[in-house]
Structure 1
């Protein structure tokens, strides 16, 4: 059998930064290692580097015997590179390499192609992965594959003027109680910039005027939206989740020109914004809300861009 002959198989590569991430154009240098328990014939050892996105979800309809399930799936391949680590001997002998028992180490080297590829991502209905697969081919046996993932991040220049520009939004509403219209509730929310990184604290400045007779409570939410598509976006699935929230002290009725600052920390382990993939999108929104008691909330939406921490200060890929 194949497995008992091979022990302690590992694929290791050298880091290019402290975060252990890679970006477009980066070299990947490393080595594979394994231990053999007995002499083994090897035809070849190959390395395949694959970047791709894949989505899959299903829906059901009907009930009982008429119940049916429909599946949606799509795959986009960004690149696929193959190289040989150990070449079979075809000119002489039986075309195999005889490896002796003990440890074996083979170096490898490859380079990520230059291009606008999306960051690694895993969601409930899809994922973006970059994998290194080592295939060991033996005579009269199926190829055995060993796989490891590369953490890829897009190169984003966080110092672009469009990402450093402040954001602002204003909204208002009139509170009504039966036939009696009350004074308006008005809010203006401001952010110092549009781009942030995981773990960063966002400062939201709010100016509020409450001319109504209701007490209102300022709240802030960080919301993530995931979109999954089939090809040509013929079908789609949307998932939303709230990642963080903060609540401030209530504002009394008939109070004007109230200024408040709300600090919201972005969770450190969230995925970056993804807008450069045909079948997966990830976006973020900061929602500032005023919640009058017994009335619908007044909201200001501020779309933000979440940059990968490891590439936040890298120049864009040429």
Structure 2
């Protein structure tokens, strides 16, 4: 068996940063090491660097169950770490510890960040394969944490967001009262763990009490290759409820805050099979009537944004 011959197999990377992430164009360097318990012939040690996305889900009843599946390879790079005895056959390696260094470069390209969800994933794998005569090839797979860097120089990410909405509410006497809501967020781009400050102004001319609420949502959308079929998941990540606003109240000002969870995925908009989006939903909740809402789409980045000042 493989484990009886190869002891203490390790695959180690050289970290490029504190978060141990990789991005487009980065050079991946490291070592593989193992201990041989006896003289062993090895045909080759290969390395494969693969970036891919795949989605899969099923729908319908048990009798009419339908499965959807799609896959895209961003890149698939293969190289040789060791190739012994190309002419005379595999050369034997002596017992003891063996260490081999490797280097590979992630291609330049607009590749999406790593992600894993219930109906799909975006993964970047480094696979080391050991091939021996008269044995099944043995593969060791390690995942790279890949990050797509958003261009922080985009003006729209630092631009404030604002929106308003209003509706008339008819009471039992059918006297209409207007409810208005205006909200604003200081910018569009945020990082994981950052707090979002929402400034709100409300006016309630109706005869009902309304309650303001802010919610941070994540939307995961999975697509087939043609984009004809879609699977959507919406998750509430954080929410806050403000003080009720009494009937016939004018110009109520309040502020609410939401926090992006530190473990949240980054926004993904550059993959045809899988999107991850975020939005802030500001609403006024009332009984027996639809909620009044304003939605702000935001972007979760990996690098803190810095305002650009013009002299």
TM range (shorter): over 0.9
Instruction: Give, in angstroms, the shift of residue 143 of structure 1.
Output: 1.2
Q: Does 1:261 align with 2:255?
A: yes
The DSSP-based 3-state class of the residue aligned with 1:61 is coil
The DSSP-based 3-state class of the residue aligned with 2:214 is strand
* Equivalent residue, structure 2, for 1:46: 46
Among residues 283, 286, 294, which one is paired with 2:280 in the alignment? Answer: 286
For the 8 Å contact 2:52–2:124, the answer to whether it is kept is yes
* Equivalent residue, structure 2, for 1:237: 231
For 1:4 and 1:297, the matched residues in 2 are separated by: 66
* Equivalent residue, structure 1, for 2:83: 87
Matches within 5 A, 1:292-311: 292-309=286-303
For the 8 Å contact 2:189–2:305, the answer to whether it is kept is no
Q: Does 1:122 align with 2:121?
A: no
* Equivalent residue, structure 1, for 2:150: 156
* Equivalent residue, structure 1, for 2:133: 139
Could you list the per-position Cα deviations for residues 249-292 of structure 1 after superposition, in whole angstroms to 9, with x for gaps in the alignment?
11111111111110111100010111100100110110001112
Could you list the per-position Cα deviations for residues 70-126 of structure 1 after superposition, in whole angstroms to 9, with x for gaps in the alignment?
1111100000111111113112x3x21312222221110011100000000000000
For 2:123 and 2:117, the matched residues in 1 are separated by: 11
* Equivalent residue, structure 2, for 1:215: 209
For 1:106 and 1:161, the matched residues in 2 are separated by: 46
For 1:29 and 1:253, the matched residues in 2 are separated by: 65
* Equivalent residue, structure 2, for 1:316: none
Counterparts in 2 of 1:178 and 1:213: CA distance versus 1, 3 Å: closer
The DSSP-based 3-state class of the residue aligned with 1:4 is helix
For the 8 Å contact 1:39–1:100, the answer to whether it is kept is yes
Instruction: Give, in angstroms, the shift of residue 163 of structure 1.
Output: 0.6
Select between 32-41 and 280-289 the one with higher mean Cα deviation. 32-41
* Equivalent residue, structure 1, for 2:309: none
For the 8 Å contact 1:157–1:312, the answer to whether it is kept is no
Gaps of 5+ in 1: 314-318
Instruction: Give, in angstroms, the shift of residue 4 of structure 1.
Output: 1.9
Instruction: Give, in angstroms, the shift of residue 299 of structure 1.
Output: 0.4
Gaps of 5+ in 2: 307-311
State how many pairs are aligned: 306
* Equivalent residue, structure 1, for 2:6: 6
TM-score (normalised: structure 1):
0.93
Counterparts in 2 of 1:56 and 1:262: CA distance versus 1, 3 Å: same
The DSSP-based 3-state class of the residue aligned with 2:139 is strand
Among residues 95, 99, 103, which one is paired with 1:105 in the alignment? Answer: 99
* Equivalent residue, structure 1, for 2:245: 251
For 2:112 and 2:227, the matched residues in 1 are separated by: 17
Could you list the per-position Cα deviations for residues 152-211 of structure 1 after superposition, in whole angstroms to 9, with x for gaps in the alignment?
000212242111111011101111124513311100110000000110000000010011
